[in-house]
Amino acid sequence: MADLLSTGVSGLLASQVGLSTVGHNISNVNTAGYTRQTTTFNARAPQYNGGYYVGQGADAVSVQRAYSQFLTQSVWSANSGQSRATQYASLTASVNNAVSGSANLQTALDGFFGAVSDLANAPVDTASRQALIGKASTLVSTFRSLSSQFQQIDQQTNQEISNSVDSINSLARSIADLNGQIQKAYAGGAAPNDLLDARDQAISQLSQVVGVNVTQGSDHMVTVSVGNGQPLVNGTDATTLSTAANQYDSSRLEVVGPGGSVISGQLGSGSLGATFDFRTNVLDPARNQLGRAAIALTDAFNQQHAQGIDLNGDAGGDFFTIGDPAVFNSTGNTGNAQVTATVTDVGKLGSADYIMRYNGTNWSVTTAAGVTVPSTGTGAAGDPILIDGLAISVPSGTPQAGDSFQIQPTRNAASTMSVAISDTSKIAASGPLAATKASGNTGKATLGALTVTNVADPAFNTPVNIVFTSPTTYTVNGGAPQTYADGDTITGNGWTLKLSGVPAANDTFTVKPAGSASGDNGNALALANVANKGVLDNGATTVGKSYSQLIAQVGTAGAQANTALDAQQSILDQAMASQQSLSGVNMDEEAANLLRFQQAYAASAQVINAANTIFDSLMTAVRG
């Protein structure tokens, strides 16, 4: 009966392990990263009893995870992709919200040019002039506000980068510590399932921040690298990443590996890689495009304003002001050269940033993305380097081989824009010339448009008398007769005048410099037309269209980001479903197992009870 008792006890103990495992599964049904565990049983070696063997019961030999390395790594990969897509869509949405917010730049542009048109209808009216300055201030505030919002998003990316690096370092340290614990646990002869789950969960969390590559050694420890192969965890050692200011722009953070090497461009998937890609592919182009529009408006409006005459009879000055392109020295420079850049041709101005490098003899220029940019000039003050509408000079200092500079032609231009005029009398609404019709004219010819074609003509300001010698001929300042037909345009020194109707002999028209407070609206009309004037892309793009391009650019990026997010979420859901079908805790299955082990436990107890009853009966018979 001792063998029957031992058999019953073995079944009792085996069932108890099974019950404990099921209970552990049920308790951890909501634990993130938990892998379902199962108990493996083996029959004990039987005892030979004459011509047959008698079984000796069962043992619980192991508790194993329902685990697939392939499915788990698929989840890690899908995690990285989904986290990247989520971060990219979220950050892109913030730019979309800024562009389409209440301070809409298109509305401000429409309001400003509407005020210019109102001024053309009442060129000497103080209220119209004051309204124009007010609308100009609103427009500038909108440019600056949108630029400020972009700058805040840029600062947000810095915070995201800093937080991500902290998370990477913390998780790497946890994985390294778990590596050591797991190695020691395996030395005891069994797999530490819960420690393995904890390590997998830490890797899963790491994969959300940055793409991971995991390999497992024969010592049961894992090696983890991130991005394009940057080692992060090797056994019980964890590499510490850090952040540092960009070598050119100190307002921006980069991720730095061991030895100070910048690895920002090597981080691949995950939320951190998405943050850098967003900054490069969405935020920077949006900021540059906004600044490009501000420069275009400033340049075109100022050029036209300079051709007019204000109420004091003076030539128009700058209506807007805007800063020059920003130039940043590399922190690695050893020379003391100073570099400056100015915009020379807005029509050729693009939206790229540039890196200028010195090799000890010559300068070379590439875009920030590394594309070589054709250039002319040596960089000397009298021979600037010319690229894409920019003139770059090295007015002082001496560069050394390896020195480099970053040039941002448009990045922060919108934030430097301001209205240069506060005195309403300084608005140059009048054209530089005025055309008048003599009061004694008897014909039906009337004045049409007086258009300035070349303000630099040496005789531009010379007064001109146009006298008709007949309905079909006229002289200019007593010169040779010229023919005329109804609707013809008369050409002067840097201007053209259109007449309509039939003049009479001796009818006279005069073109001369406009006097102060003349009431002429020629330049105001030309200023209003700046809204429709091609300024950028060699005259193909207006200021308004440039802003529309910004909206389309950001909107397209947002739509693509949302599409990518939907696709990556589907991939993650599929990977999770496959992994959970094997490793997840199914409460119905665990309930069935619980009942099965309860019944086995109770049956084993009955075996022990039967062995005890038989033994007591035997002892009673012997004593009798």
Whole-number average pLDDT of the chain:
92
Say if residues 60 and 18 touch (Cβ distance below 8 Å).
yes
Is pLDDT of 466 > 90? yes
Segment 63-100, tens digit of pLDDT: 999 999 999 999 999 999 999 999 999 999 999 999 88
The sign of the dihedral angle between the CA atoms of 214, 192, 27, 202 is: negative
Tokens of 429: 């609404």
The sign of the dihedral angle between the CA atoms of 515, 517, 522, 524 is: positive
Say if residues 278 and 92 touch (Cβ distance below 8 Å).
yes
Distance, in Å, from the CA atom of 503 to the CA atom of 499, rounded to the nearest integer, reads 9
Segment 510-535, tens digit of pLDDT: 998 887 666 778 899 989 999 998 99
Q: Residue 338: what residue type? A: Q
Segment 125-152, tens digit of pLDDT: 999 999 999 999 999 999 999 999 999 9
End-to-end CA separation in angstroms for the chain: 19
Q: Which of 235-244, 248-257, 431-440 has the lowest mean pLDDT?
A: 431-440
Tokens of 119: 């001024």
Segment 494-507, tens digit of pLDDT: 999 999 999 999 99
Segment 221-237, tens digit of pLDDT: 999 998 888 899 999 99
Domain boundaries, the chain: 2-66+585-623, 72-284+541-576, 433-513
- The pLDDT of residue 338 is 94
Note the helical H segments in 188-255.
Answer: 193-209
Segment 286-344, tens digit of pLDDT: 999 999 999 999 999 999 999 888 988 888 899 999 999 999 999 999 999 999 999 99
Segment 163-206, tens digit of pLDDT: 999 999 999 999 999 999 999 999 888 899 999 999 999 999 99
CB atoms within 10 A of CB 282: 24
Distance, in Å, from the CA atom of 67 to the CA atom of 608, rounded to the nearest integer, reads 36
In degrees and rounded to multiples of 5, residue 83 shows phi and psi of: -65, -40
Buried b (16+ CB within 10 A) or exposed e, 177-189: bbbeebbebbeee
Is pLDDT of 539 > 60? yes
Distance, in Å, from the CA atom of 23 to the CA atom of 17, rounded to the nearest integer, reads 10
- The pLDDT of residue 1 is 46
- The pLDDT of residue 247 is 95
Segment 556-602, tens digit of pLDDT: 999 999 999 999 999 999 999 999 999 999 999 989 989 998 998 88
Say if residues 497 and 293 touch (Cβ distance below 8 Å).
no
